[in-house]
Amino acid sequence: MSRITACFQALSAEGRGAFIPYLEAFDPDRATSQALLEAMPAAGADLIEIGIPFSDPVADGPVIQASALRGLRAGVTLAAVLEMVRQFRKNNTTTPIILMGYVNPIEIYGYDRFCCDAVKVGVDGVIVVDLPPEESGILKIPAERYGLDIIRLVTPTTTEARLAYILTQASGFVYYVSIAGVTGTHFADSHDLQKAISRIRTVTSIPIVIGFGVRTPQHIQEAVAIADGAVVASALLETLAETLDHNGRSTERTLPAVLEQIKTLAQAVQKSRN
Amino acid sequence: MTKQIQSDACSLRQQPDDRGYFGGRYGGCFVAETLMPLVQDLALAYKTAKADPSFQRELTHYLTDYVGRPSPLWFAHRLTERLGGARIYLKREELNHTGSHKLNNVMGQILLARRMGRTRIVAETGAGQHGVATATVCALFGLKCVIYMGSTDIERQKPNVFRMRLLGAEVVSVTAGKGTLKDAMNEAMRDWVANVKDTYMLIGTVAGPHPYPVMVRDFQSIIGTEARDQILKVEGRLPHSVVAAIGGGSNAMGMFYAFLDDSSVQLVGVEAAGHGLDSGKTAASIERGRSGVLHGNRTYLLQSRDGQIEETHSISAGLDYPGVGPEHAWLHDIGRVQYVAATDEEALEAFQLCTQMEGILPALESAHAIAYAMRVAPTLSKDKVMLLNLSGRGDKDIFTVARYLGVKL
């Protein structure tokens, strides 16, 4: 059984949803980013999403854009992101790791090579924002060969016909993009969310996770009450950015501040246990 | 009958395939899921409109009576004499309303947007020519218009920024990156994804997710269709070569398309070398880039070893972009079009020569094509015909040119 499936089964037995915090690789530097990654499970992360910085993140709002730029300035490469996961796996063999990014760095790295290396270092799934199912054959074939889940995105604009098409290809979990817009803007209306998640559940039995716009403990409680998990990204990156010095370097407040917020969010998810 | 089918199969004018791939490799549709249903709707709407005679009639009406088509073909006799070689003809796209070829495409797309019931238009612009054309048709049809423009470009293309505002458009300054066309494109796509209900994204070049590359090419192909007829009429033969500047590549694709199957005609796309092809300050995506995926399509891109998109440089804001339309990438691979480059300096020299010899101020973009003619026309015999696309007028560039000449306006 994959780490992702095992994780959702265990949480389901516990009667609660998954909390998935996000970090951008190398934001603001390699060491801080690695330390944050390694401290996340103890702070309450059930799964972890790592952003692969890209120069032109068209689906992201200003917070993730700035974060990606800091990562790039710190010298991040796709190979270095994989190395972060390899390090992480030395002490953690259970927390699923999902990489999220844009297609070009993966295309340049090579699809087959990427899937092979990702699985080897212990990556469990990958979300490629600008690779819709129509174009994803190039990634799907090697991903299946090496056993890497491609996490599919469903959005408020996804039609019935597309929903069925997308979900026949989904593995691991489904990522529901809760708003039509870029990351880090507003939280969706919970009635709309309820309707959207029910619609997806009629087509698939794999776990559904809500992302985009989940910022506060209250949001995440609402989200995990409706779906099987939720991702918090921009809110954490914002906290991280606030702790940096005027040169954009990490300070002694950086790690504690982000981890504190992760703990608060994790507690909110714990409380939602039914 | 069989013969007809065979010749169609060999035609270079049958691309892309249904998925938007040119030569099976370049193009495609690489956008976030939120936009997928929208671009698929658009592809369908375009296919329907293209086959609808009433759409074509409406477009022809606006192209004739509003844009001012057909544009003339001008024999540049003093320029020809000065260069002392091939006979040079200029396709006068700068005489279109708003001063460039951009309106051909914008007119087609705005009629489509209206058919689709869209009420808000967003567009990216580099030099501002596409932005001005878009703001113009939005004024014409009473539609809300938001133009994204890089902060660097806003600085170097001030007259166009003011024109857009006069036309009622909201011009949003994009400060991300180097503040040029790539950054404007990113921001326009973010706007679109956040306003899917009423918004139409009006892309100005032969790039972006399918169907934009084929749609923009179709709307621009009137340039070459007219020019081919015109040159046959005045010269009684096809030209030796057809030359156009290339950033994203819409004026070049519009010019080349009619000539793709005329194997005797040499097609030349002139990229912006900036400070020089190997200076690190260039925008020559084909000559110095490699295949990758950006802004919805696979094409040649200027990028790092790790697939991060690089900052570009050209004196011409309209060519200052790290990619090129996917059809050009394919035409390069199969060797049908030859891609060369001209530097900032060569473009400035060409700008002045064309102005002084022909009384025509060319856009700095178009000046790159003229720079090629300055280099190559003298080496060709006097019976050869060279056709240049004069894609835009240079009034917008006088401040940039003045600065380079050390003149204070």
| Interface confidence (ipTM) of the complex | 0.96
* Overall domain count for chain A: 1
Q: Is A63 on the interface with B (CB under 8 A)?
A: no
User: Do A153 and A129 meet the contact criterion of CB atoms below 8 Å apart?
Assistant: yes
Closest chain B residue to A136, measured at CA: B30
* CA nearest to B129, candidates B187, B181, B183, B66: B181
In sequence order, which residues have a C-beta less than 8 Å from that of residue A166 and are 6 or more positions away? A133, A152, A153, A154, A158, B33
The residue of A69, A106, A135 whose CB has the most chain B CBs within 10 angstroms, and thus the best one to mutate to test that interface, is A135
User: Strand order in B385-390's β-sheet?
Assistant: B73-75, B87-92, B385-390, B241-246, B266-274, B337-343
Tell me the pLDDT tens digit for each residue of B304-358.
Answer: 999 999 999 999 988 999 999 999 999 999 999 999 999 999 999 999 999 999 9
The reply to whether B31-64+101-216 and B68-98+220-405 are identical in fold is yes
| C-alpha–C-alpha distance, residues B225 and B223, integer Å | 6
Q: In one letter, which amino acid is A169?
A: Q
Of the listed B71, B91, B94, B102, which one is catalytic? B102
The pLDDT of residue A28 is above 80? yes
What is the full per-residue pLDDT of chain B (409 aa) written as tens digits?
444 444 556 899 999 999 999 999 999 999 999 999 999 999 999 999 999 999 999 999 999 999 999 999 999 999 999 999 999 999 999 999 999 999 999 999 999 999 999 999 999 999 899 999 999 999 999 999 999 999 999 988 888 999 999 999 999 999 988 888 999 999 999 999 999 999 999 999 999 999 999 999 999 999 999 999 999 999 999 999 999 999 999 999 999 999 999 999 999 999 999 999 999 999 999 999 999 999 999 999 999 999 999 999 999 988 999 999 999 999 999 999 999 999 999 999 999 999 999 999 999 999 999 999 999 999 999 999 999 999 999 999 999 999 999 998 8
- Minimal-distance CA residue of chain A relative to B174: A62
Q: From the CB of residue A30, how many other CB atoms can be counted at a distance below 10 Å?
A: 17
Question: For position B4, what pLDDT does the model report?
Answer: 47
Domain boundaries, chain B: 31-64+101-216, 68-98+220-405
Which of the four CATH numbers 3.10.105.10, 3.20.20.60, 3.40.50.1100, 3.30.43.10 does domain B31-64+101-216 have? 3.40.50.1100
Measured between CB atoms, does A74 come within 8 Å of chain B?
no
What percentage of chain A has pLDDT greater than the value 90? 94
Nearest CB partner across the interface for B37, out of A57, A65, A157: A157
Q: What does the pLDDT read at residue B127?
A: 87
What is residue B1's predicted lDDT score, i.e. its pLDDT? 41
CB B111 within 8 Å of CB B55: yes
The confidence score (pLDDT) of residue B145 equals 98
Q: Which residues of A touch B295 (CB under 8 A)?
A: 56, 58
* Helix, strand, coil abundance in chain A, percent, nearest 5: 50, 15, 35
- Residue range(s) defining the domain that contains residue A117: 3-266
pLDDT confidence of residue B166: 98
User: Which two three-digit tokens encode residue B370?
Assistant: 């003229």
Residue A218 has pLDDT above 80, yes or no: yes
- Residue A213 is assigned to a structural domain of this protein: yes
Given this model, what pLDDT does residue B9 score?
A: 62
End-to-end Cα distance, chain B: 64
Find the CATH number of the domain harbouring A109: 3.20.20.70
Distance of residue A23 Cα from the nearest chain B Cα, in angstroms: 19
Q: Is the Cα dihedral A190, A196, A199, A204 positive or negative?
A: negative
Closest by Cβ to A182, choosing from B37, B182, B190: B190
Alpha carbons A180 and B197: distance in angstroms, whole number: 9
Active site (annotated) includes residue A130: no
Cβ-Cβ contacts under 8 Å between A and B: the total is 107
A274 confidence band (pLDDT: 50, 70, 90): low
- Give the closest of B37, B193, B307 to A108, CB-based: B307
Domain B68-98+220-405 CATH class label: alpha beta
Mutate to test the interface with B, among A60, A69, A78, A104 (most CBs of B within 10 A): A104
For residue A220, being part of any structural domain is answered with yes
Q: Which helix or strand (DSSP H or E) is residue B122 part of?
A: strand B120-125
CB B35 within 8 A of CB B209: yes
Q: For residue A268, what are the CA distances in angstroms to A14, A260, B259, B272?
A: 15, 13, 65, 55
Q: In this complex, do B196 and A103 lie within 8 Å of one another by their Cβ atoms?
A: no
pLDDT tens digits, A187-211: 888 899 999 999 999 999 999 999 9
In the numeric block, the tokens 């999403």 are attached to A49
pLDDT of residue B8: 57
Q: Which of B71, B314, B316, B391 is catalytic?
A: B391
Question: In DSSP terms, which residues pair with B324 in a beta bridge?
Answer: none
d(C-alpha B298, C-alpha B15), whole Å: 15
